[in-house]
Structure 1
Amino acid sequence: MIDVIQEKIDQTNYWDLLILDIQSKYFDDEIYVYIEKDAVTCWKLSFISCYKASYETDTNWRGEFKVKNTGPKSGYYGQDISLIEYADDEHSIQCTLDLSIMTMNIVCKDILVEEIKMSDTSFFGKDN
């Protein structure tokens, strides 16, 4: 299963593509990562039934810069997205994401990869 999901993620060709937004829903039970594809569509990675998630950003060296003031063009780009079986539960997936100025570690039960129209979602609380 993990190999199939990894292949779907790799088929998005996310490397060096702009990360448009990261959103969490339902008390972090679901986490969404949006990756730019073109001017009309984007990739949505949905992390489902999340057990835990952690991240580190560049806030320790970027000064007074506020990401919320820049919107989706804030400098986050896909560098690496890797999946492995979570050591403590063979039914869970551990995903590490390198998004240039942010790294994430998410443990979840499933990951969905879909292409969506940007007009069907909003980033930074604004319609696209």
Structure 2
Amino acid sequence: MFGYLNKMINTVKKIYDTINQFYQKCLRNKNIKKIQRALENIEYWDAQLLDFNIQHLGDEARLYIQQYRQGYGETEYCYEITFLRCYKVAYDTDAGWLASRGMPEGAPKEVIAREYNIKDATSFGMLLGYAAQDIKVSEYNYFLNSYHIVVANMTIDIICQDIDIKLVPIAEQNFFWKHIESKKIKFKDGKPVE
């Protein structure tokens, strides 16, 4: 009988320890101000966006922003911001955004949208216009945080359990634009031409 009680007590202790570890992890991840400060410390505003990708069946999302140092400009390093154990990743890009061109007042002469593929535009330096603008952190629930990210060509909303920020060499990354043949597509007036 005492053997059975000892097993029950040990089982209850294991359950308690597991819950306590989970709770401590939640507390560690919930320091919203600390996470926001860590993001702001990388001084990402108007820094070059290098890539955004989703991996491992949506479990991780990674945002790469070039490091910029006052007085030095862009460096050979970038920040790899990894969103871990993602619950939800949603984004929209400028492919669906409309803009008007023409008259300063009244109806526009024409409505325009992006008519080129990003993978084709990068070989001509058009990626240079894509800069990080804002990253806001908020609490989603007791163990998930929400991140609202605004970059020049897209908005991203991520809900995840954790975040990791690292400074990594650009040369060691496998960005999609590194392998593009130069002058694959020519552009005129922002549109691809044959």
Q: Do they fold alike, i.e. is TM over 0.5? A: yes
The one-letter code of the counterpart of 2:178 is K
The one-letter code of the counterpart of 1:121 is Q
Could you say which structure has the higher helix fraction?
A: 2
Q: Which one of the candidate residues 134, 146, 149 is aligned to 1:80?
A: 134
Moved more, 76-85 or 36-45: 36-45
Please say if 1:69 is aligned against 2:105: no
Could you say which structure has the higher strand fraction?
A: 1
Q: Which residue of 2 aligns with 1:34?
A: 64
Q: Which residue of 1 aligns with 2:40?
A: 10
Cα shift at 1:125: 6.3
**Aligned residues, how many?**
125
Larger radius of gyration: 2
Distance 1:102 1:39 in 2: 24
Could you list the structure 1 runs, at least 4 aligned residues long, displaced by more than 3 angstroms after superposition: none
User: Percent identity among equivalent residues?
Assistant: 30
Judge conservation of contact 2:94–2:114 (CA < 8 Å) in 1: no
The one-letter code of the counterpart of 1:67 is I
Distance 1:97 1:64 in 2: 24
Cα shift at 1:101: 2.0
Distance 2:158 2:147 in 1: 5
Judge conservation of contact 1:18–1:73 (CA < 8 Å) in 2: no
TM-score normalised over the length of structure 1: 0.90
Distance 2:83 2:126 in 1: 23
The one-letter code of the counterpart of 1:115 is L
Judge conservation of contact 2:138–2:146 (CA < 8 Å) in 1: yes
SS in structure 2 at match of 1:8: helix
Judge conservation of contact 2:32–2:139 (CA < 8 Å) in 1: yes
Q: Which residue of 1 aligns with 2:82?
A: 46
- For structure 2, the 5+ residue unaligned runs are 1-30, 68-73, 99-112, 180-194
Distance 1:120 1:73 in 2: 22
